[in-house]
A and B are shown apart, each in its own frame.
Chain A
Amino acid sequence: AQSVTQPDIHITVSEGASLELRCNYSYGATPYLFWYVQSPGQGLQLLLKYFSGDTLVQGIKGFEAEFKRSQSSFNLRKPSVHWSDAAEYFCAGAYGGATNKLIFGTGTLLAVQP
């Protein structure tokens, strides 16, 4: 079955420290992969997406993600976290083709310590 797994429910980092949020997928073919962020009281905002090509993807707000087929992973990274990055982060995936269905992970809640 298609699935997207985010192993970390909650992560705390210090402001200025680097960040890596983990995402693993299970598909037969290469999926389309996305990272969304949900700030408190807000809807989801797309940070970045990967379809094919360069495996390192740049997104908004200084985030990047790397697709690693050998590890079935699409981890989100940021070199220096700001207090405003505190939010919940969702990884999502989908098969290509005509489907519009995204499969979401369970989310990782990021807390940023001063």
Chain B
Amino acid sequence: DVKVTQSSRYLVKRTGEKVFLECVQDMDHENMFWYRQDPGLGLRLIYFSYDVKMKEKGDIPEGYSVSREKKERFSLILESASTNQTSMYLCASNLQGSVRETQYFGPGTRLLVL
């Protein structure tokens, strides 16, 4: 079974803090993704990575950065957290290729920024 794990299920941070969200997959997938999920908006792609040290902006990259130093790990960084970044963050991964390859999701990190 593919497993995508996220470092925290719940996180509470203060405005201005630097926040790291970690994602690890165990299936040797080339592609990894970060989404945020908000009620009424569905899932929106923040960033994705198609290889180590490679990244591409998604639809809402502002205020976020990412890091992929190892194939299995993809980190989302909020350089200076703001209250409008309070959300559910979902990580996903899939095999390289077209979008035909199923994306497998982690359980999500619910982030509250005070």
Interface residues in chain A, defined as those with a beta carbon under 8 Å from any beta carbon in chain B: 6, 9, 32, 36, 41-46, 49, 51, 90, 92, 94-102, 104-107
Contacts and interface: CB of A to CB of B under 8 A. Distances in A.
19 contacts: A32-B99, A43-B90, A43-B92, A44-B43, A45-B105, A51-B100, A90-B42, A90-B43, A94-B99, A97-B98, A99-B99, A100-B31, A100-B33, A100-B98, A102-B45, A104-B43, A105-B42, A106-B41, A107-B42
Contacts of A36: 105
Interface of B is mostly: strand
B84 interface: no
A92 B94 CA distance: 15
Interface string B21-48: 0000000000101010000111111001
Interface of B: 4, 31, 33, 35, 40-45, 48, 50, 58, 90, 92, 94, 98-108
Given A43-B4, A43-B90, A45-B105, A100 B99 contact: yes
A43 B43 contact: no
A27 to B, nearest CB: 13
Given A32-B100, A99-B98, A100-B94, A43 B107 contact: yes
Contacts of A45: 105
Contacts of B106: 43
Contacts of A102: 43, 45, 99, 103
Contacts of B44: 104
A57 B101 CA distance: 17
Given A6-B42, A43-B107, A44-B92, 20 more contacts: A36-B105, A41-B107, A42-B107, A43-B90, A43-B92, A44-B90, A44-B103, A46-B102, A90-B43, A94-B99, A96-B100, A99-B98, A100-B48, A101-B45, A101-B58, A101-B99, A102-B99, A104-B43, A104-B44, A106-B41
